[in-house]
Amino acid sequence: MNDFDLVRKNLFRRKLRAVLMIVSILIAFMIFGVLAGFYRAFTAGEDAAAADRMITVNKINFTQPMPIAYFTRVRAVEGVRQVTFANWFGGYYQDPKNFIMALAIEPNTYFDVYRSEFEVPPEQLQAFMRDRGSAVVGESLAQKWGWKIGDRIPLNSNIFSQKSGGHTWDLTIAGIVKGKAEHVDTNFLLFQYPYFDETRSFGKDTIGWMILQTTSPENNDRVAKAIDAMFANSTAETSTDTEKAFGKAFAAQFGNIALIVLLVVGAAFVTILMIVGNTMALSIRERTREIGVLKTLGFSGPRILGMVLGESVLLALLGGIPGLAIAALIAMALRNSLANVVPGFAVSPAIALQGLALMIALGLITGIIPALNAMRLKIATALGRG
């Protein structure tokens, strides 16, 4: 019988207690896997934001409009390579409950600025450019509603109305937009700003925000200051920041996701540390005489230390690995239904490695004190307690 056999048999000498501890650890790592996967998917857009891309919005609030004349002036700023703009539409399909992220965009430049994220077949993009009453739809949104190229859909707005009355814009789908990476959100509809601006009943010649590319990320600060200084003291002052910073500020409106994940996972692991640590200490006290016998048979202190630590690490692995596996299955089951909210929701290899490191850390932390006590235990004292 080798040391591993002894570790395994000692761990399961009280089967019910061992199973309950394994289940507790399993639940903790299942929670960790699901929340970490959600956080990774939720923040993937921030991480993927181009370093040379910036957002200019109204200084009061990003929901407030700016004059479209700003577009031409920003394009002339030194250090700006390309600029485009978009306007929030407040769209829904058939029923107000069926929210659609619809944007009226500048058709000639939008996909140039976002060429690293999105791809549209050239013939579809050309069809979109030719037809002012057309739209391109993100792949996940098209799949959700079963839309295909050539379909004519009524897009409603809960903000804007048409000059002719009503809140519905009839659009023909000219293309399907695909993401170049798994985490890229394609749950949107884009249509031409000129058509939107000509037909809406109010807000003419205003835009929501501008997206610009600088010639180099090193120029970002200088370009941002130049743009904001250009419109200082105007009726619509601006605020320009990197796309990543803008994304973080926008996400912060929904709460600090990182803090929520940290608190939930932290609470679970502190609880598990207390439970497993106390149980391991109790288990070693119950085996005091056996440890004395092992030392009498020639087992050294460091060997006893390694066996006790091995027992606690094995316990963490037996609970943690199935917990992460269940989290991965949950992510797979929810992947399609959450694609419109958090595309790319999954327990990634990086999360699995983090989980494995946590398992080992959990085992070492909970086992170190009982292991040291066992290593220092005198033979006479151990046999005397028996």
Of the two residues 250 and 264, the one the predictor is more confident about is 264
Q: pLDDT tens across 137-183, in order?
A: 999 899 989 999 999 999 999 999 999 889 999 999 999 999 887 77
User: Are 368 and 325 part of one and the same domain?
Assistant: yes
**Residue 309 banded pLDDT, cuts 50, 70, 90:** confident
Q: Which residues contact 191 (CB under 8 A, 6 or more apart)?
A: 89, 102, 103, 104, 105, 134, 135, 136, 155, 169, 171
| pTM of the shown model | 0.68
User: Are 194 and 342 part of one and the same domain?
Assistant: no
- Angle at which helix 15-48 crosses helix 243-252, to 10 degrees, equals 130
- Position 239 scores a pLDDT of 94
- Position 212 scores a pLDDT of 94
User: Are 197 and 86 part of one and the same domain?
Assistant: yes
Provide the residue range defining the domain that includes 268. 3-46+256-385
User: Are 358 and 280 part of one and the same domain?
Assistant: yes
- Position 289 scores a pLDDT of 77
Is residue 223 within 8 Å of 14, Cβ to Cβ?
no
Q: Residues of the chain with pLDDT > 90: what percent?
A: 49
Tell me the mean pLDDT in the region 334-345. Answer: 68
**If you average pLDDT over every residue of the chain, what do you get?**
87
Tell me the mean pLDDT in the region 27-52. Answer: 77
User: Are 83 and 189 part of one and the same domain?
Assistant: yes
Is residue 69 within 8 Å of 247, Cβ to Cβ?
no
User: Are 285 and 368 part of one and the same domain?
Assistant: yes
Q: Which residues contact 321 (CB under 8 A, 6 or more apart)?
A: 29, 356, 359
User: Are 293 and 361 part of one and the same domain?
Assistant: yes
User: Are 231 and 296 part of one and the same domain?
Assistant: no
Amino acid code (one letter) for 374: A
Q: Give a yes or no: residue 245 inside a domain.
A: no
| Overall domain count for the chain | 2
Q: How far is CA 315 from CA 32, 276, 280, 292, in A?
A: 17, 9, 10, 23
